[in-house]
Chain A
Amino acid sequence: MSNEQTIGDLLAEQVDRLLGREVTRERLIAVEDGSFDQGLWQALEELGITLALVPEDAGGVGLGWEDAEPALRAAGSWAAPVPLAETLVAGWALGLAGIDNPGGPLAVSDLIFQLDHQGRLSGEDGLVPWIGHCSHLVALAERGGERFIALIPRDDLQLTAVETLARIPSARVVVSGFAPAALAPAPFAGELGLKPALAAARAVQMAGILDRLLALCVDYGNTREQFGKPIGKFQAIQHLIADLAAQAAAAQVAGLYACRQLDRGNGEHGAAVAKARAGQAASRGAESAHQVFGAIGFTDEHILHYYSRRLWQWRDEAGSEHWWAERLGRQVLAAPGAQLWPAIAG
């Protein structure tokens, strides 16, 4: 076990403890109503998690994705109402490009913007979560096949609020002809730009949510009584929860797989596998959990929908499971069938 891994596990425990204590339904509601939870953000900053993927010489913790995965999953498991995943992706990209991190919460786009020869940026992204609460947007820019990481001040963006299932404050973003605050070549970025990294982060967050749903369902199964006994005694309920457990486990392995592949520069493949699998797990897991909780889980007052709505949102963000599966499938179909096994096993 490497030292970094120890730091990663320790960080995850601290994040888990903090969020378990702080994230209440009231605070989730306040954020969905549009306010920013500055207190929670600051507490996370003090733990160091927000700069986990920023290189040490740039003032960060210098972890890799695999080491940061447990903390991000823990944050997902509490539906942490802060742009942690986005800030991690942004910090990672800025670090690789050698751009100074402005600090604070950062938004990120998974689309590619166009750069002209005067260094001016144009483009739009129909969904950027949290941008209204962030000082900057980090995005990939392209000029004649060359790729750059761009740091764009929020004030240079036109924002139009958009609705999402997660109800996380989000906006459509248009940038038209502004020079970014910072720009640096990004040879590490593939044709999909920051989408693989954001997809990996969403897969990890979804795995965290599924962990939480499983814990909630086990607790409910052991306490809710019908027909004179806890419903968890019924085989039908046990099997629903076992299905949920299987999906949570698969999502966990998928998220971790994506992180490991990102660390070795194979992010697109990792994201394709992970988002395809974790997205499916999200759909099936949410379905099982809602069936276990019955009518009370369908109410506004119950906590369940703060988790299930995020699953329904995140499975669609940064490429849905179907979008990634199609990409993966097209790669498979590009070669004779005999090439399938070597592509999987090496």
Chain B
Amino acid sequence: MTSPFSFKPLELPAALQPLRQRVRDFLAEAGRDWSGWKVGHSWTGFDRDFSRAVGAEGWIGMTWPKQYGGGERSHLERYVVVEEMLAVGAPLGAHWFGDRQSGPLLLRLGTEQQRQRFLPEIVKGEASFCIGLSEPNAGSDLAAIKSRANKVDGGWRLTGTKIWTTNGHLSDFMIGLFRTGGDGKVKHEGLSQFLIDMRSSGIDVRPIRDLTGEAHFNEIFFDDVFVPADMLVGVEGDGWNQATSELAFERSQPDRFMSCFPVLPPLIDEIRQGGDGDRLAARRLGATVADLVILREMSLSVLGQLAEGHAPAREAALVKDLGNSHEQQIPNLVRELSDCPATLARGNRLSELQGFLTQNVPSYSLRGGTREILKGIIAKGLGLR
């Protein structure tokens, strides 16, 4: 057949409906006082009390083994919980990186001791993780990182700088990628991943104010930071493969296309108040909903393929590329279909969401791999270059 892509459909079973309803009820209560501005932050918003409450419901580490505090639930159940949270822009940041990335990494490659120590804490919403990848001179060219980990008695000494680390100033732990060997000629070799306690001496976290006026990401300086030997994750020197192999999962989840969803309900209400909407409003909204439904189908398909043991990396890259474009055009849709005043009206849900999202959407096609890097991955996968 002609298509290079596989998107076998995955249907969410009706049996998940009670879970979905439970999450909705929980969020209706928990989110009663969330402002539009707060909701705009969606999964990067950091709210540890909320994460603890989510953990108490058993909705962090849902698929993990019970021996580590997990729920041994299915990936489909987790998907339902995640998409319900994203639909209302819940602040997932205090547990999201551990739940999505660090926990699964430790399950796959961590030592028994690491799993026992960290996974139950993530599950409870007590241990927040950040991801230390980019450096001042290694952005899209991630393998150009220079930060080093030198072997010393009983562990490692870390030196260098990480940057753009989301919620680094609020997190308890980092999974960081450092250079441990190699001759530097093959950039992807000689990299290793470490579990780093953010309270270690020698770590200096400096929040970077971004254009929204807030500080979400950070520059993090490592000055001879000691990391015990048992905090190496996986295999020394295999950090590149370890860090990139789970991107298929990361790139295909609904956080890559639902970041702006919470602005749509107040937009619809605004249009309805103005008299049910004209033809243009219907057409533009309909196109946006169709786009979202198909993205969700694609995302579910990748989920199903992952659950069957496949690694649909190209399909996942497509979901993120299409998903980011979908998210990013929504603030313009709001402007097109409603006469937003040119002021940011605090207390007005639509205005706060629109004000935050308009300023925040440029980051969507940067975080988790830029659009250009993704398109390169797609092109390479098609047999170009």
Contact = CB atoms under 8 A, between A and B. Distances in A.
Interface in A300-346: 321-322, 324-334, 336-338, 340-341, 344-346
A249 B318 CA distance: 8
A73 B3 CA distance: 10
Interface string A261-296: 000000000001110110010000000000000000
30 contacts: A13-B1, A16-B2, A74-B2, A208-B2, A212-B2, A222-B383, A233-B385, A242-B374, A246-B321, A250-B294, A253-B297, A254-B294, A256-B7, A260-B9, A324-B286, A325-B285, A326-B286, A327-B286, A328-B285, A328-B287, A329-B277, A329-B283, A329-B285, A329-B287, A333-B277, A337-B264, A340-B264, A341-B261, A344-B293, A345-B84
A325 B2 contact: no
B301 interface: yes
Q: Which 6 A-B pairs have the closest CB atoms?
A: A337-B265, A329-B286, A329-B282, A325-B286, A328-B286, A337-B268
Contact of A345 (B83, B267, B378): B83
A260 B295 CA distance: 16
B186 interface: no
A124 interface: no
Given A211-B3, A329-B284, A256 B9 contact: yes
A257 B294 contact: yes
B347 interface: no
A246 B318 contact: yes
A37 interface: no
Interface string A186-223: 00000000000000000000011001101100100110
Interface string B1-28: 1111101010010000100100000000
Contacts of B269: 336-337
Contact of B282 (A215, A249, A325): A325
B211 interface: no
B265 A273 contact: no
B382 A333 contact: no
B224 interface: no
B130 to A, nearest CB: 29
Given A218-B382, A246-B378, A329-B284, A273 B318 contact: no
B379 interface: yes
A152 interface: no
Interface of A: 12-13, 16, 66, 70, 73-74, 77, 207-208, 211-212, 214-215, 218, 221-222, 232-233, 235, 237-239, 241-243, 245-246, 248-250, 252-254, 256-257, 260, 272-274, 276-277, 280, 321-322, 324-334, 336-338, 340-341, 344-346
A337 B277 CA distance: 13
Interface in B251-282: 261, 264-269, 271-272, 276-277, 279, 281-282
B289 A253 contact: no
A265 to B, nearest CB: 15
B298 A253 contact: yes
Interface in B334-385: 372, 374-376, 378-379, 382-385
Nearest to A328: B286
B138 interface: no
Among A245, A252, A328: residue with most chain B CB under 10 A: A245
B56 interface: no
B322 A250 contact: yes
Nearest to B375: A242
Contacts of B286: 272, 276, 324-332
A344 B269 CA distance: 17
Nearest to A243: B375
B307 interface: no
A42 to B, nearest CB: 23
A276 B271 CA distance: 21
Contacts of B296: 344-345
Given A253-B7, A272-B286, A221 B384 contact: yes
A328 to B, nearest CB: 3
B292 interface: yes
Contact of A332 (B289, B315, B372): B289
B322 A273 contact: no
A211 B6 CA distance: 12
Nearest to A325: B286
Among B1, B5, B17, B298: residue with most chain A CB under 10 A: B1
B372 A239 contact: yes
Contacts of A253: 7, 294, 297-298, 301
B287 A276 contact: yes
A18 to B, nearest CB: 13
Nearest to A233: B385
Contact of B383 (A208, A218, A327): A218
B149 to A, nearest CB: 33
A334 B286 CA distance: 12
A281 to B, nearest CB: 9
Contacts of B379: 232, 238-239, 241-242, 245
Contact of A241 (B5, B265, B285, B384): B384
Given A16-B2, A239-B375, A338-B265, 4 more contacts: A232-B384, A273-B289, A325-B283, A332-B268
Given A329-B283, A332-B289, A249 B2 contact: no
A326 B290 contact: no
B269 to A, nearest CB: 4
B93 to A, nearest CB: 21
Nearest to B299: A253
B197 interface: no
B87 interface: yes
B87 A325 contact: no
Contacts of B284: 325, 329
B5 A249 contact: yes
B121 interface: no
B170 to A, nearest CB: 29
A333 B265 contact: no
Contacts of B87: 341, 345
